[in-house]
Amino acid sequence: MTSHRHWTFGDTSLQRVIESEGPLLSPFEIFPDCTQAHLDANRNWLVPRFQDAASGLLTITIQSFLIRRDGLTVLVDSCSGNDKETRARPQFRRAQWPWLERLREAGVSPEDIDIVLCSHLHVDHVGWNTRLDNGRWVPTFPNARYLISRREWEHWQAAGAKALERTGDYITDSVLPVFAAGQAELVGDEHAVAPNVSVELAPGHTPGQMMVRLGEGGAQAILCADLMHHPLQVRYPAWSTRFCTDPGAARTTRIGFFKAHADTGRLIFPAHFPTPTGGTIARDGKDFRFTFCGEDHACCGG
């Protein structure tokens, strides 16, 4: 492993492309079960890295992951995007993030992307699917196939406009143009993207949320999408977010995931954990803990 932003798993490499990282969400907005007492009990590790002392907001990273293997370039999720008008949250409305420049700094142009893998269809995961071109939304990655869970797509089609009231309608500007361009491909609950790169269902946060598994045997990593949003959910696995379509299913998926991967040394990459994002899960008595890469173990070279 070469750095906190670049990992290798056999013949597969993984790199982060960050759109934003900083205080964003109130713990009481995102977690219905959170109380001030919970925050006080964990203040010694929460502040200042995971919670901003001045505002009380939790630090949230919005990022993509680049997977490269044998000439294939895969982008997992595409953040919140620029120029989006119909957004309820001010941080996402008419934003001007330098995300494309950061993609190029990683050595990749939009034309180089072969596959865009949408872990799920939430506003902060699909924004760069499209870009504004002379007043029209067009696919940002002209040569890519956009892989979307069939289960996920059917959910959002059936949910209708009411499901978008909290966020604003991002489906129209960031998802539908990909279908119109003929670049969308619906996949099942399990799908082999390439040798040693596959997706599997992780339901609850959304019905068709997909995790990405890289590598094989002991040298594996899992991009677990929004199965957990913040390290507080490792301390309190029963906490689901207000954004989960099925909080009970999300809780079951998360606890099962922790039990399956704790103490295996397997690298886990949640979508919204702050730098360096990746780490391992371990049992801590009856609880769990998350150890980031480079902290107390050598998962990525210290």
Confidence (pLDDT) at 11 = 86
CB atoms within 10 A of CB 81: 26
Confidence (pLDDT) at 217 = 72
Residue ranges for the chain with pLDDT beneath 70? 1-4, 218, 295-302
Confidence (pLDDT) at 230 = 98
Could you give the CA distance from residue 212 to residue 66 in angstroms, rounded to a whole number?
Answer: 12
Could you give the CA distance from residue 34 to residue 236 in angstroms, rounded to a whole number?
Answer: 10
Confidence (pLDDT) at 9 = 87
Give yes or no for a contact between 148 and 185, defined as CB atoms under 8 angstroms apart.
Answer: yes
Confidence (pLDDT) at 43 = 97
Could you give the CA distance from residue 228 to residue 261 in angstroms, rounded to a whole number?
Answer: 14
Closest CA to 152 of 209, 79, 227: 209
First to last CA, the chain: 9
Give yes or no for a contact between 91 and 24, defined as CB atoms under 8 angstroms apart.
Answer: yes
| Long-range contacts from 7-11, C-beta under 8 angstroms, 24+ separation | 7/221, 7/267, 7/278, 7/293, 7/300, 9/196, 9/214, 9/215, 9/219, 9/220, 9/221, 10/196, 10/215, 10/216, 10/219, 11/69, 11/70, 11/196
Confidence (pLDDT) at 3 = 37
Confidence (pLDDT) at 192 = 95
Confidence (pLDDT) at 295 = 65
Confidence (pLDDT) at 297 = 39
- At the second CATH level, the architecture of 6-292 is 4-Layer Sandwich (3.60)
Dihedral sign computed on CA atoms, order 133, 135, 139, 142:
negative
Could you give the CA distance from residue 178 to residue 257 in angstroms, rounded to a whole number?
Answer: 32
Give yes or no for a contact between 20 and 13, defined as CB atoms under 8 angstroms apart.
Answer: no
Confidence (pLDDT) at 82 = 98
Could you give the CA distance from residue 146 to residue 284 in angstroms, rounded to a whole number?
Answer: 39
Closest CA to 99 of 82, 120, 123: 82
Q: How many residues does the chain have?
A: 302
Look at residue 185 and give its three-state secondary structure. strand
pTM of the model: 0.95
Structure confidence by residue, pLDDT tens digits, 198-238: 999 999 999 999 999 998 776 789 999 999 999 999 999 99
Q: How far is CA 10 from CA 45, 103, 196, 199, 217, in A?
A: 33, 23, 9, 18, 10
Q: Which helix (H) or strand (E) holds 99?
A: helix 99-105
